[in-house]
Amino acid sequence: MLSLLCLILGLAFLCGLNLYLTTFLLSLSLRQGWISQDLSPALAPLAHPALLSLALLLFLLEFILDKIPWVDTLWDALHTLIRPAGAAALAFALLSSTQLSPLATSLAAAAAGLVALAAHLTKSGLRLLINASPEPFSNSLASLAEDAAVAALLFWLLRAPVTGAAACAALLLGTWILLPRLIRLLLANLLLLGKKAFGAPTLPSLPLAPGQSRQLTDLFSPATTPAWAVPCLSGSSQGLPGLRPNHRGTLVAPFDHPGTLCFLFRKRFQPRAVRFSLVGAQLRQEDTFLSSNLVIHRPQDHLLLTFRFPRPTAPHLAALLADLQSRLGRDLPQPPPILTAPTPLATPALASSPATAPRLQQLPP
């Protein structure tokens, strides 16, 4: 029973990756006698030639479509229910000849479907990330690697179900540990891809929300006001604890701290803020396929930060970089425009203006 349950969960994982290849190889193994009939007598119907031929044809179709960028994503979307359903049906067939109760059999089939769904979503997300890359070869390499992994793990499962299932579980668990980062990377690339296709060529200067204003004053002082605040994505971050890649947030330049920036974002639905100094740092702009990046590098303390902006805003980012450079060159911050001294009324331009001269004479001294 332990070997049978391990075989079921391992097959469910493989069905989530490639249902047709798993079915074809399993049917072929039954016909060639590579699998013990004592272990899974319920698999005997899978050895039927019609099922073997159908699985082979569908696998060949998937083999071709899986090499085409974005077509493989559409194919995966169509199989979001097919692959888990196939894994659940296979588990139900394997357990139908055992002494398990119908409830236990149904629960085990549902568990197999969930495992297949987890594997399918993980694979689909990774392939979507690969599709965002500019070159087409990574799709073919990833597809071939998946097929080779399915074949190797299947024959491992047939020879040693317990250790084979443990390998599948370790692979799935390791992927899910990295899944939050993968999801953030996926969403970030999708956002940048949409901005590249339909985005505006300027960076909007955002007004800070009340919560962000409180974060800014907590980092600096109650009188701090932003010189500018622009939306962006965090990229690679080294030397700054608390900041991870691919978080959406707002990059803020405080007016009275010209050598400092802060990044306001949300992590696990909680507002977070990080502050870092630009003194002694090298600033540069780095353009990639999806984004135009602001890179901040200070070798003295191994600080290396990247903030990603939509690709169409590259000219605006260059102006932003020039503003940062100029702010770093100031010894003392200049007063903001709202605090500047008023222009004297009796200026030559105003005095020589016929429209304003009578109005100026009526003003009190």
Whether 192 is covered by a domain: the verdict is: no
Q: Is residue 101 classed as helix, strand or coil in its secondary structure?
A: coil
Identify whether residues 172 and 215 lie together within a single domain: no
Q: How far is CA 337 from the centre of its chain?
A: 40
CA distances from 19 to 23, 113, 132, 189 (A): 6, 12, 25, 28
Identify whether residues 110 and 218 lie together within a single domain: no
Whether 100 is covered by a domain: the verdict is: yes
Could you read off the pLDDT tens digit of each residue along the chain, which spans 365 residues?
778 888 888 999 999 999 999 999 988 888 887 776 566 566 777 888 899 999 999 999 999 998 888 888 899 999 999 999 999 998 888 887 777 788 888 898 999 999 999 889 888 878 877 776 656 677 888 889 999 999 999 989 888 888 888 888 888 887 777 777 777 877 787 788 888 888 888 887 778 888 888 888 888 888 888 989 999 999 988 888 888 888 999 999 998 888 899 999 988 778 899 999 998 899 999 998 889 999 999 998 889 999 999 999 998 999 889 889 888 874 434 444 433 333 333 333 333 333 333 333 333 43
Identify whether residues 328 and 239 lie together within a single domain: yes
Identify whether residues 71 and 149 lie together within a single domain: yes
Q: What is the pLDDT of residues 335-355, one digit of tens each?
A: 444 333 333 333 333 333 333
Task: Determine the Cα–Cα distance for residues 320 and 343; give it in Å rounded to an integer.
Answer: 29
Picking from 123, 153, 177, the residue at the C-terminal end of a domain is 177
Q: Are 214 and 226 in contact (CB under 8 A)?
A: no
Identify whether residues 173 and 215 lie together within a single domain: no
Whose tokens are 């071709």? That residue is 64
Whether 339 is covered by a domain: the verdict is: no
Look up the CATH number of the domain holding residue 239: 2.30.29.30
Identify whether residues 121 and 218 lie together within a single domain: no
Identify whether residues 220 and 172 lie together within a single domain: no
Whether 15 is covered by a domain: the verdict is: yes
Using CA of residue 23, residue 27, residue 28, residue 30, what is the dihedral sign?
positive
Q: Are 20 and 3 in contact (CB under 8 A)?
A: no
Number of independent structural domains in the chain: 2
Identify whether residues 42 and 163 lie together within a single domain: yes
Whether 160 is covered by a domain: the verdict is: yes
Structure token pair of residue 341: 């001294």
Whether 360 is covered by a domain: the verdict is: no
Identify whether residues 122 and 249 lie together within a single domain: no
Whether 198 is covered by a domain: the verdict is: no
Identify whether residues 29 and 115 lie together within a single domain: yes
**Cβ burial, residue 42 (10 Å; 0-12/13-18/19+):** middle
Whether 43 is covered by a domain: the verdict is: yes
Q: Are 7 and 39 in contact (CB under 8 A)?
A: yes
3-state SS string for 25-80: HHHHHHHHCCCCCCCCHHHHHHHCHHHHHHHHHHHHHHHHHCCCCCHHHHHHHHCC
Identify whether residues 170 and 231 lie together within a single domain: no
Range of the domain at 163: 2-177
Identify whether residues 234 and 160 lie together within a single domain: no
305 strand-pairing partners: 237, 296
Going by C-alpha positions, the residue among 280, 274, 329, 283 that lies closest to residue 306 is 283
229 strand-pairing partners: 252
